[in-house]
Amino acid sequence: MAYIEFLDQVHRSTKRDYLSRVNSGDKAANATIAKRFDFDYWDGSRNTGYGGYAYDGRWLSVAKRMAEYYHLKAGDRVLDVGCGKGFLLYEFTRAVPGIEVAGLDISRYALENAKDEVKARLVEGNAASLPYPDKSFDLVVSINTLHNLQLPELESALMEIQRVGRKNRYVLMDGYRNEEEKVNLLYWQLTCECFFTPREWEWIFGKTGYSGDYACIYFD
């Protein structure tokens, strides 16, 4: 297991006004809307989600970094758990021609509005129960998804990711290292159910048998 940042540049490219998010309207109501993971979360107001989640090319650099680090090659199989609209998977197909990709997401809206090039490889489902055989994929990734699960489902999802991967695994979740980052996270988040310090995440990994790599998103 290693702590590896693949998305640090993507995360820091977004400017966040934490006070504006928490003070703009009814935060609890906005979070309730966001957790439906439908139009309002992906393409509605910034107060209820992304404020428009359209392809802009930013995931290519992430796919290239992952492909290089994990030595991906044509014929390898990659699964994205919580794939959203499939942008990262699309970029894997560009970074490694001949790679096989698959994705799963709980949001029917995201899947219906996914990249056409990979849409046929995406399925609706829950991370806590993956519809794939044991050791099916050379790399399993889950980006900004697992923290949306409550603890029982989170544990199941980590065990499922461990089960379906045969080589490499990588998860990215929300975390915090100090009180400022914790407060910023609470101000900004809309859908999180679990967010912990790196030490706590590592404890959960040990409890579930997850042996892959990981990183945290910090709101500093």
Average pLDDT, the chain: 94
pTM of this structure: 0.94
- Euclidean distance between CA atoms 144 and 174, whole angstroms: 7
In three-state form (DSSP H/G/I as H, E/B as E, the rest C), the secondary structure along the chain is CCECCCCHHHHHCCCCCHHHHHHCCCHHHHHHHHCCCCHHHHHCCHHHCCCCCCCCCCHHHHHHHHHHHCCCCCCCEEEEECCCCCHHHHHHHHHCCCCEEEEEECCHHHHHCCCCCCHHHEEECCCCCCCCCCCCEEEEEEECCHHHCCHHHHHHHHHHHHHHEEEEEEEEEEECCCHHHHHHHHHHCCCCCCCECHHHHHHHHHHHCCCCEEEEECCC
pLDDT-derived band at 215, boundaries 50, 70, 90 = very high
Tens digit of pLDDT for each residue in 163-214?
A: 999 999 999 999 999 999 999 999 999 999 999 999 999 999 999 999 999 9
Q: Which of 84, 88, 43, 99 is nearest to 61 (CA)?
A: 88
Nearest to 11 by CA among 140, 174, 158: 174
Segment 44-65 mean pLDDT: 93
pLDDT of 68 > 90? The answer is yes
Per the CB < 8 A criterion, the answer to whether 166 and 137 are in contact is yes
Residues whose CB is less than 8 angstroms from the CB of residue 69 and which lie 6 or more positions away in sequence, other chains included: 4, 6
Q: Which amino acid is at 168?
A: N
Q: Show the domains of the chain with their CATH numbers.
A: 8-42+55-217 (3.40.50.150)
Question: Residue 129's CB: how many other CB atoms inside 10 A?
Answer: 11
Pairing of strands 165-174, 213-217: parallel
Cα dihedral 130, 5, 90, 147 sign: positive
